[in-house]
């Protein structure tokens, strides 16, 4: 399959490129920085810029994972606009490009996140659950709405609502490990907020399933057993043979991070209902196993 990917140098995108290459797919990455793509992914991947895209291109699939990092810096108005433009504006550009193509791709996989649901406490959330509005919720909703415009072109669209991704050398663990290794880790706030996680290998396998099936619509890319923050931090500490005795007060976190603190104090108890109904078998269903593999 001939596949175009945005976000090909990210924590998920890099691993996805390598897995698809191993399956003998022809991979091209859309990027403004070709040197960084080849430095990370090697010369087997072709690098393109937007001005190199042409109506006679013949992609069987386009995978859209681009977006400015959510945790990179405090959410100023300028940062919020950058997060929106790097997701929504880019997605609309891709849809506009697909509209001009002589041969449309068969499928468009577009990123999203479980932030789509907003902060919902202990409520169990599936793909059909109602939303609770905040900035990250509106960001995800608008991102998905942009991607769904490709349906009018006759393209199958899959929206991947990704949870907290666990794997070695990046993602959630990269931010948590330094403190925990120094015995400075602990729960955040009261620790009762739910964390819906997924091992990166399962995410990659889910993307392949969606590429090669007739499935469409939104899918929760989360393991079937979400945990509370307290359980997550205790499990991580146990795997590292360290204590988890220094909680981070919610008030201090709000002071340090401002509005961005909603990402770690908010609660999404998400289940992958549609993936399970489609027969997907998770490789990592339990947090302890996922952390063991990642560490």
CATH number of the domain residue 172 falls in = 3.40.50.720
Summary mean pLDDT of the chain: 92
Q: Please tell me the predicted confidence (pLDDT) of residue 170.
A: 80
CB-based contact 208:283 (threshold 8 Å) = no
Distance (Å, whole) CA 282 – CA 137: 26
Backbone angles phi, psi at 165, to 5 degrees: -90, 130
Of 229, 222, 157, 232, give the one whose Cα is nearest residue 196: 222
CB-based contact 88:148 (threshold 8 Å) = no
44-73 pLDDT, tens per residue? 788 898 889 999 999 999 999 998 888 877
The parent domain of residue 200 ranges over 2-294
pLDDT at 184 over 90: no
Three-state DSSP class for residue 203: helix
Q: Please tell me the predicted confidence (pLDDT) of residue 255.
A: 81
Q: What proportion of the chain, given as a percentage, has pLDDT over 90?
A: 72
CA distances from 256 to 69, 94, 261 (A): 18, 36, 8
125-171 pLDDT, tens per residue? 999 999 999 999 999 999 999 999 999 999 999 999 999 999 988 88
pTM score, whole prediction: 0.93
Exposure b/e, 204-228, CB count within 10 A at least 16 = b: bbbbebbbeeebbebbbbbbbebbb
Domain count for the chain, please give it.
1
pLDDT tier for residue 38 given thresholds of 50, 70 and 90: low
- DSSP annotation string for 136-195: HHHHHHHHHHHHHGGGGGT-EEEEEEE-EEE-TTSHHHHHHHHHHHTT----BTTS-SEE
Q: Rg (Cα) of the chain, in Å, rounded?
A: 19
Q: Which two tokens stand for residue 70?
A: 């959510």
Distance (Å, whole) CA 46 – CA 29: 6
Q: What is the mean pLDDT of residues 236-258?
A: 85
């Amino acid at each position: 399959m001939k596949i175009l990917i945005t976000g090909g140098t990210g924590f998920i995108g890099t691993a996805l490129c390598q897995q698809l290459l191993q399956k003998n797919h022809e991979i091209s990455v859309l990027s403004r920085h070709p040197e960084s793509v080849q430095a990370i992914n090697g010369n087997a991947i072709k690098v393109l810029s937007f001005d190199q895209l042409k109506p006679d291109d013949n992609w069987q699939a386009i995978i859209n994972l681009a977006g400015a990092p959510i945790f990179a810096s405090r959410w100023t108005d300028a940062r919020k606009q950058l997060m929106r433009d790097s997701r929504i504006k880019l997605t609309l550009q891709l849809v506009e490009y697909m509209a001009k193509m002589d041969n449309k791709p068969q499928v468009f996989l577009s990123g999203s996140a479980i932030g789509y649901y907003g902060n919902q406490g202990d409520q169990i959330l599936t793909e059909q659950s109602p939303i609770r509005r905040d900035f990250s919720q509106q960001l995800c909703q608008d991102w998905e709405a942009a991607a769904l415009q490709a349906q009018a072109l006759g393209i199958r669209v899959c929206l991947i609502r990704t949870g907290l991704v666990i794997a070695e050398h990046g993602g959630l663990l990269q931010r948590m490990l330094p403190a925990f290794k120094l015995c400075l880790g602990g729960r955040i706030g009261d620790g009762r907020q739910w964390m819906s996680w997924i091992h990166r290998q399962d995410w990659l396998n889910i993307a392949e399933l969606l590429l090669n099936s007739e499935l469409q619509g939104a899918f929760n890319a989360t393991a079937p057993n979400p945990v509370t923050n307290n359980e997550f931090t205790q499990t991580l500490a146990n795997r590292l043979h360290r204590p988890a005795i220094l909680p981070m007060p919610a008030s201090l976190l709000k002071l340090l991070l401002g509005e961005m603190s909603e990402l770690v104090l908010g609660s999404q108890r998400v289940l992958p209902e549609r993936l399970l109904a489609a027969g997907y078998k998770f490789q990592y269903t339990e947090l302890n196993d996922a952390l063991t593999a990642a560490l």
